[in-house]
Structure 1
């Protein structure tokens, strides 16, 4: 179905805010979200299937309703009958999140009857000087040892904690035990799933005054028990489409970058994929042939795939923003990096952080 071009504009999204036992007031006071600062808000779901459009001719529609109305115009060749495949959040941790793990797609489909498991990543927006996260095991372990330590309360002895700072990127594949620590704020990109298996929650009560549910056996089914030695990821700075960009993540689920717009407009291609843009500290204007929108700080816009191109321009000297898209192919970001003059060895080292990839034969890959 062909849609009028005035329906292919930047959709400003109204995020869902969630209360959490580990939440605080930062989302309202520091990130400008429209909520109760006393409500212990922990997450702002910036782009997901039930967020509503707040501007233009499709105002009031959810992203899911856009899928039904626009189909390939929104998603390109991604299956429009399934939930929007990427979920982005801003998460502010006032206390430790639960020690947890997520399943892969196969387990989610077989056991939970849901389409997606959950691989995710964090870009650290802010962190206290002593901020830490749980990231994997300190040594190899096993299901038997895990279950015994959960039972006797010594699981913490196996957990590996690492320091994080503003600007770090952390990749969390399915199966990796993890937790965000207090004083850390992240921009999270994940598969569109809320499947979380808690293994330990500090014996605290939920907001309803009851102990929060643990999922010890399901976690045991999906955990990777090998020692974790990696930490914050290597990033690549490059210049492409007139914009300074930092490549952060590139796997089969999403590409994540930090991009800087300047006052002079620059145009980005959609590569027949929806784009998710979230401003950081400063405002910028985003335009397509179908219209334009002003993004204030920490606001999110969804660009439909069929827009073809979108133009960004800061309202001051510069405006950084997060750029997220489901990849058109596993070669998309490597091809872009090589086209921008990044050395082959650097591209290979970057991609090796996520999967085995051969970026040496990339002619014709969409940029």
Structure 2
């Protein structure tokens, strides 16, 4: 098979916290012309939000079908798993998201009969000057203290709040309670999962819950809550490639995220051990590869399959892309950053990096 950059349909979620920043500020087309657009699931192999190929010879096939039929060529040599390992979204946090958490792997398997949990990271595309996130607990509170704070909706009493700005990345392990917004536009990379527990008195559509259901949700959240990590915004570690810049925003066993700022042509070399996803958050670019070329427009995403080989990215002006992949931490993260002069302590602050 002659592989090429794969584009997918994007599922849309219309939750209450959003407005239309994904269309109006980010410039994404092919979304509903009216109404709230909370999330677009750019690369998704998740159940009812499954992406379907829109371009080339594989058009019409789902991401799950490609993953099952071509795991080595699509995802990476030797890779095996129940679904495509990366799920990525654009999220409009014009309003504040509900306070919630996602199960880690152990909890997902033990309580939900799911293959994995949901560690995630947020890359801030835009934020108002006073925008903040909530991430992690201030201390080791008792269950009763946390329950009371959540019933009172006094999140700042128990949770850590940090200011954010465009370019920050926040790595959030499964089990860590969190929220972001208002007044932010976010790119999210995560494990392929949609598990979540919420402590807010309304559902994602803004509808109030009765007290019994609300309190039950809080208790379910407390059952899954972990306090081993206190995520903080990170400006990333920069790798210069000629006039171009790759900023490593976060890294861990499930994914790495980089922000590419390209002023000239950039060759992304062959990576047979992993695929790469690209989301264009700037001006259009041309992707040249062994089998031809394609365009990646503003707010479009694609997968560069592991078997594709090197891809030359040609910016029209100055390109800005978010690149994600499942890393070999030693090969893809630790060694390049050490060679660039970063200390191990700095590298470890990117997320879950050991080596």
TM-score normalised to the size of structure 2? Answer: 0.89
Aligned partners of 1:293 and 1:107: how far apart in 2?
Answer: 42
Query: 1:234: Cα distance to partner?
Result: 4.6
Structure 2 CA distance for aligned equivalents of residues 330 and 117 of structure 1:
24
| TM-aligned CA deviation for residue 21 of structure 1 | 1.1
Contact 2:243/2:263, CA 8 A, preserved across alignment: no
Shift of 1:222: 2.2
1:133-158 Cα offsets, whole Å, 9 max, x none, are 11222333122322343345545522
Change in 2 beyond 3 A, CA 1:77/1:115: farther
Does 1:267 find its partner at 2:268?
A: yes
Q: Indicate the SS of the match to 2:160.
A: strand
* Mapped partners of 1:240, 1:348: distance in 2: 23
Q: What is the aligned counterpart of 2:17 among 19, 22, 47?
A: 22
CA shift in 2, pair 1:331/1:81, >3 Å: closer
What is the aligned partner in structure 2 of residue 363 from structure 1?
none
Mapping for residues 206-285 of structure 1, pairs under 5 Å? 207=205, 209=207, 211=209, 214=214, 215-225=217-227, 228=230, 231-240=232-241, 243-285=244-286
Instruction: Say whether the 8 Å CA contact 1:234–1:350 is kept in structure 2.
Output: no
In 2, are the aligned partners of 1:10 and 1:287 still within 8 Å (CA)? no
Change beyond 3 A, Cα 1:78–1:298: farther
CA 15–78 in structure 1, closer or farther in 2 if over 3 Å, else same: farther
Q: Which residue of 2 aligns with 1:182?
A: 182
Cα distance in 2, alignment partners of residues 184 and 174 from structure 1 = 22
Say if 2:43 is the partner of 1:47.
yes
**2-side partners of 1:54 and 1:344: how far apart?**
41
Say how many residue pairs are matched.
346
Give the whole-Å Cα distance in 1 for the aligned partners of 2:204 and 2:251. Answer: 35
Contact 1:117 1:193 in 2 (8 A): yes
Q: Tell me, in whole angstroms, the C-alpha distance in 2 between the residues paired with 1:186 and 1:271.
A: 29
SS of alignment partner, residue 161 of structure 1: strand
- Over the aligned positions, Cα root-mean-square deviation in angstroms equals 2.4
Give, in angstroms, the shift of residue 208 of structure 1: 8.0
CA 1:209–1:264: 2 relative to 1, 3 Å: closer
Q: For residue 226 of structure 1, report the CA deviation from its aligned partner.
A: 6.3
Q: Which moved more, 1:294-303 or 1:38-47?
A: 38-47
> Structure 1 residues 193, 205: closer, same or farther in 2, change over 3 A?
closer
Q: Which residue of 2 aligns with 1:334?
A: 334
Superposition map of 1:87-106 within 5 A: 87-106=87-106
CA distance in 1, matches of 2:9, 2:34: 20
Residue 206 (structure 1) shift: 5.2
CA contact (8 A) 2:168 2:249 kept: no
| Gap change, CA 1:208 and 1:171, over 3 Å in 2 | closer
Which residue of structure 2 lines up, in the alignment, with residue 9 of structure 1?
4
TM-score, normalised with respect to structure 1: 0.86
In the alignment, structure 2 segments of 5+ residues that lack a partner are: none
Alignment match of 2:341 (pick from 340, 343, 351) = 343
Distance 1:74 1:128 in 2: 38
Change (3 A) 1:78 1:142: farther
Name the one with the larger strand percent: 1
The residue that corresponds to 1:364 in the other structure is none
